[in-house]
Structure 1
Amino acid sequence: MTLKRRWLTLAAIAVSLAADPLAAQNPDATRPPSVATVDHVVALVGGQPITASELRARLARLDLPAHAPATLRAEAAREVLERLIDERALLQSAQELGVRVSEADVDAAALEVARRNGLTLAQLREQLPTAGLSWNSWRAGLRDELVLQRLREREEARARVSEAEIDAWLRERQRPSDPAQVALELAQVLVPVPEGAGAEADARARQQAEEIARRARAGEDLVAMARAHTETPQAVQGGRLGLRSADRYPTLFWDAVRGLPPGSIVGPLRSGAGWHVLKVLTQQHIELPSPTVTQTEVRHILLRADGDAERAQALRRLSELRARIASGQISFEAAARQFSQDTSASDGGRLGWASPGLFVPEFEQAMDALAPGQLSEPVVTRFGVHLIEVLQRREVPRSAREQREAVRALLRQRKADEALAELARDARARAYVEIREPAP
């Protein structure tokens, strides 16, 4: 099986459930009944209502300070209402374009929301009425989220990024002139010169710094030398000054290291504190992909399932199998060979080393949450139900090709954003929009 990347992310769906699965979706549920706000329609989009409770629920996601000024709250409410209007218009456009979400997709998303909040689906369903939400209305909202994600997938699939566009984007970011756009980390050895020291003391300090720089350029580890020679608070970290935007470093440092590749040794440089020898640990435009990537070695057991009955049976079987593996009654490898319905079964369920983006989001999110040696709970994807085990992780450099593909993915996402914004503008222009009252 190849778990092809599908650009559905449940983070946005689950974000309102992160702290309290119910109160975040319905802020009025946490208020005493005497002060609960009566629901009413605040806007109509193509005849479809947006209610005050929907607006309040979305505002709750912003986590505004409790004592935020009324003007700030009013502005936030207006912006959120505008986004809700755009979303409602996009949903109507998606229906016209034939974008559909199956019941199985909604089921899988509901299971993922429950899992991410430490609940079973039954527990989540039982708690919804306490927040004033029905199961059907909650699923309808979840379906809307998925439709919008599917619409985004459509635009990303249509987006084309040429090699020339990648070249131009990389060229613009190889030597950025704005330090605020540069992620920079330096290590330093500081040879201090006391205030008021004479020329002789300054010369001795400079000579010591020059010797440190020479040794560093000859291959000796500056980070190790920093622990031995520098008296700054960063000495125990090997003189590391921290990863930050370059504009948060002294201008003296930025002017000296601008444009230099990682590993470069600079100095000695004179400041009011003394003589500095610097090593560039990281320097790149903040939008450039990381030069390394975390890979995960993973294996799984897959039971294919079509429909609710088969999915429920697969969940039950894998829960039982997980308990047997955890208790040592059967090894993961043996269980995969015996029960998995994937082509990886013959190799004990091994899927090899995976870079981010290889698997569908539901699988990848569950995998990323595991420590090496840890078993997941059963995970539902469009391929079926999985039991996942992470074997180990490693950091590897990105190849030049992988760097370009990461840039291609970024540019494709930006083009999709632009296309969706244009689609929203068009959909809103065609829909009748009536704002009935100012946003609360």
Structure 2
Amino acid sequence: MKQLYVLLCAAIIGFTSVTASAQELDRVAVIVNDGVVLESEVQQMLRQVKQNAQRENMSLPADEVLRVQAIDRLVLRELQLQMAQRMGIEVSDAQLQATLTSIAQDSGVTIDQMREQIASDGMSWDNYRESVRREMITGQVQRNAVQQRVYVSPQEINNLTKMISEMSEQEVEYRLSHILIGVRDGASSAETQEARERAEQVLERLRNGADFAEAAITTSSGNTALEGGDLGWMNINAMPTLFAEVVRDKRKGELVGPLKSGVGFHILKVADTRGIESVEIEEVNARHILIQPSIILSDKRAEEMLQDYRQQIISGEATFADLAREHSADPGSAADGGNLGWNEPNIFADAFRRVVETAPVGEISEPFKSEFGWHIVEVLDRRTQDATERSQQNRAYQLLFSRKYQEELENWQQEIRDQAYIEQVGE
């Protein structure tokens, strides 16, 4: 049944109405509220499903069963199109063309090649375009109706994030280097304190750049001292519990310790890792001055004003912050001297993003135009942030949302069927 559903969906995408010149007078197959599903639509979908099944070498149920499924799909489409009309949802030619271009790109072909492929399948390009437009419209109707019914709680996200992390953890391995500052059995508290202090001194030297392997050879009483303290590769489950508790989620190069055990004080270094999902993002700290053209302020004059402000800042006649507070048309940042704070560049409009991604730190950009007006920008700093946890939470949210969305979509579709007037018309 799932395969049949896929074929029916494909048939809707490839659906082409038959012209009156090529067909006898059409008839109504199903009345749906104040609309209809025509017999020609049913027959065309059945033909398309069979073509798709033959191409995929799939078997199909009897025609009677197939017809029921096709009618159900067409009725549902008609109901959603009726809702779209009431809601005023439309898809412009420009939006449609962008989607068709995206479909072609995803298939690795040009628009012209896709047109040829559609024609070779016996479909009209104009009718294919309109079928895609209908799919875009019904998709928007579904999103409008269903998204508001889906709620994913923070606790659900945290629970799934933890589960994903634990599953991934089984595949993560750490290569540890180890130094043991030993304490003899039965040592006095003074001897134990002395060992702790020596361990802290060694750790301090390591933090200041001392070579770990050399320090292990000269100071460690561990079994792998002569190998530079190398413990080799192991996952969390294979290493001592004392180590596992502190090594989990550490990154390459991090030092841990001193850790006290019955034999002394341990210092660990994560020499390397493998299997860890790591996501890093680049952030930029920038400030800007925005001038918005108007009926009385031309584009040229706005650009000239910003060029003048730029020269004042460079010459030291004025500060960026003072000019932003006095002249910037961005109320959100003007009060703070034009500061936008730390952000990922992709949150900005394209023209602005391109500048903040490439501008040297500390330099004032030339005036440039975005959809909001004219700007000058100074990039104050850049940094790389670890976004692994955020990435895992986003993944968990998307998984939960997708599952709940599909459940609610099916519920909603059944509801609109139940509430509609649907009558099949006999031959």
The bucket for the TM-score relative to the shorter chain is 0.3 to 0.5
Q: TM-score, normalised by structure 2?
A: 0.40
